[in-house]
Structure formats: structure tokens, C-alpha cells
Amino acid sequence: MKLISNTLLDEIAAKAAASPRRRAHHNLHSSPSDLVQRFVVVAQSDTYIRPHRHMTKSELCTIVRGRFECVVFDADGTITERSVVGEGTPNLAFELPSQTWHTLIALTDGASFVEVKEGPYDPATAAEFARWAPEEGGATAAFQGWVKTAPVGARVPSFN
């Protein structure tokens, strides 16, 4: 049996705090070839998750600590939906269908979720990143500032 304990979340949170990407994960599945991929992700509130989509796979995320905001976009970078999920909200999890452009904003340090999606994992096709969003290491602070406050219907401005 595999248990997801508070101690495990604390350990992953420490790794996330020390990581340049400000997030870390722990695989529950044994191999990238497993037909079901399951892992725990822990993020600090200043992490940047570049908007992306999974072309052939849906994903289910269950929040186990803290809060996230899931921001959904159309293909042109217009925000179509914003949903806060986790502690202190009526929402515990979210599922996104394949081909849905999205990002996550960690609203609390050490925010954690368990993600489940179809395998096997192929890094070449796992995610397509949005051209209208900066790459990691680029103008991410400006983009994050915008996406945290932009209303539904707002379109991503240029951050190049």
C-alpha cells in the first residue's frame, strides 16, 4: 500500500522550496510506461506553470493541501474560466478534458495535489505549451502578475 501522508507532503514541499522551479513531484506509479500515471505535486505560491494542454489525455487533480486556481484559456490566450479549488472552497478536485489550455496558480505555499492521467508518459508528446505565454525563465513574473488578476474574457497581452 502507498500512503500519501502529511510527512510526505512536507518532504516534497521542502524540495519545492529549494527548487528553482518552486515545485516538486513524487511519482506513485512505478514506470513511465504505466498505463495510469499517478503523482503528487507540491508547489510554492511563486511557481510558474506555463499554460499548456495535453492533446490526447484528460487529467484529474485532487487538492490535498492548500488552494490552487485553475485558469482555462482558449487557443488565442483569452481566459474562458477561473476556478479556485482546495481548502476553504466548495471544490476539492477538477478534471480537464484533453486539448484544454490551462495553468495553475498556487494560492498557498506548499499547495499540493494528486494528479491522475492516462499513460504511458512520453515527454515528447506529454504537453504542448502555449506560444502566447512566456517560457520558463522569460517574462514569467509579468505574466503571472497579469494572469492572477485578469478577468474572464481578458486576452493575454504580449510579454516578449
pLDDT-derived band of residue 158, with 50, 70 and 90 as boundaries? confident
Q: Which three-class secondary structure state does DSSP give residue 49?
A: coil
Q: In percent, how much of the chain has pLDDT > 70? A: 99
Residue 56 has pLDDT above 90, yes or no: no
Are 64 and 12 contacting, i.e. CB atoms less than 8 angstroms apart?
A: no
Q: Please report the pLDDT score of residue 160 as a whole number.
A: 61
Beta strands in the chain (DSSP E): 23-27, 36-43, 52-53, 59-65, 67-73, 79-86, 93-96, 101-106, 111-118, 128-129
Strand order in 101-106's β-sheet?
A: 79-86, 67-73, 101-106, 52-53, 128-129
- Average pLDDT of the chain to the nearest whole number: 96
Residue 14 has pLDDT above 70, yes or no: yes
- Residue in 39, 35, 42, 37 with CA at minimum distance from that of residue 16: 42
- Residue in 155, 51, 147, 44 with CA at minimum distance from that of residue 103: 51
Q: Which three-class secondary structure state does DSSP give residue 108?
A: coil
Are 51 and 39 contacting, i.e. CB atoms less than 8 angstroms apart?
A: no
Would you call 30 exposed, middle or buried from its count of C-beta atoms within 10 A (0-12, 13-18, 19+)? exposed
Are 30 and 38 contacting, i.e. CB atoms less than 8 angstroms apart?
A: no
Q: Please report the pLDDT score of residue 139 as a whole number.
A: 84
Calculate mean pLDDT across residues 127-155.
94
Which pLDDT tens digit goes with each residue over 101-120? 999 999 999 999 999 999 99
